[in-house]
Amino acid sequence: MKTLAFIGIGNVGFALANNLQSKGYNIIIASDNPDSNSVREALKKNINFSVENVQNAINLSDIIFLATPFKVNENLLSNLDFQGKTLVDCTNPVEIGISHGLKSEISGSEKIQEWASSAKVVKAFTIYGFENFNDPSYLGSNSKPVMLFAGNDSNSKLEISEIIKDSGFYPKDVGNLDQALHLEHMTLLWVKMVRRDGHHSNFMWSYFEK
Ligand SMILES: NC(=O)c1ccc[n+]([C@@H]2O[C@H](COP(=O)([O-])OP(=O)(O)OC[C@H]3O[C@@H](n4cnc5c(N)ncnc54)[C@H](OP(=O)(O)O)[C@@H]3O)[C@@H](O)[C@H]2O)c1
């Protein structure tokens, strides 16, 4: 089974890592600060995780997940060598007032591709709140919630499609990385509906073809 590194192991990182570890993936927390609250909490809740500094974790893993506050990403990513591996961008540039942090001029994922130029970036696991990432299944429901993803590299997208399936979502490729801007707007819609307007946090979308 593949080894996945998680840069950021807070709400989103932990839920996804915990879900995927239960499906047999090896999980490495990628952190230069192993004493941080989120790392300590994650290790307490799942004793199967290991910790490595960020560059070592990248070296040892097949795929890397990024689940950090968007504003730290430029500094964090610019000096890392991703060796052409897939970097799953789970981050969202969100500003005060639940608006797009880059003024909708470019997606956060395209900026991440610029900063992490040695990686192949795929945007995924962003269009819902973290409450849905540990277990997206619904009792009594045959349909799976859809996870929309975007990226430029077809092999990376195949890899991520498999991981999305294993995590319990229905994977749907929506196109190249410039489509990430529209996924980020879907996130803003979800966040406004749930965090601001009080809709249920397990609200997700489905995909049907006739
Ligand atoms: N919350 C949601 O429902 C949700 C859903 C989808 C996507 N997102 C996006 O996912 C990202 C993470 O959200 P979250 O709610 O999981 O945040 P969070 O709970 O605050 O976790 C953030 C993680 O990033 C780490 N981190 C912070 N600054 C860092 C730095 N400079 N270098 C390395 N690691 C750093 C934190 O470590 P420390 O413990 O050391 O601070 C923590 O592990 C955000 O971009 C958010 O927009 C959020």
pLDDT in tens, 178-205: 999 999 999 999 999 999 999 999 999 9
For a substitution probing ligand 1, which of 9, 38, 111, 125 has the most ligand atoms within 8 Å of its CB?
Answer: 38
The CATH number of the domain where 148 resides is what?
Answer: 3.40.50.720
Q: For residue 35, is it within any domain?
A: yes
How many A from CA of 112 to the centre of ligand 1?
15
145 lines ligand 1 (CB under 6 A): no
Contacts of 101 (CB under 8 A, 6+ apart): 70, 71, 92, 93, 94, 95, 108
Q: For residue 210, is it within any domain?
A: no
pLDDT in tens, 76-126: 999 999 999 999 999 999 999 999 999 999 999 999 999 999 999 999 999
How many A from CA of 173 to the centre of ligand 1?
24
Q: For residue 202, is it within any domain?
A: no
Domain residue limits at 35: 3-196
Count of domains in the chain?
Answer: 1
Q: Which atom of ligand 1 is nearest to the CA of 54?
A: 33
How many A from CA of 142 to the centre of ligand 1?
32
Q: For residue 31, is it within any domain?
A: yes
Q: For residue 179, is it within any domain?
A: yes
73 lines ligand 1 (CB under 6 A): no
Q: For residue 201, is it within any domain?
A: no
Check: pTM over 0.95? Answer yes or no.
yes
Q: For residue 203, is it within any domain?
A: no
E-strand spans in the chain? 3-7, 26-30, 50-52, 63-66, 86-89, 94-95, 99-100, 120-123, 146-151, 170-173
Q: For residue 79, is it within any domain?
A: yes
Compute the radius of gyration of the chain from its Cα atoms: 16
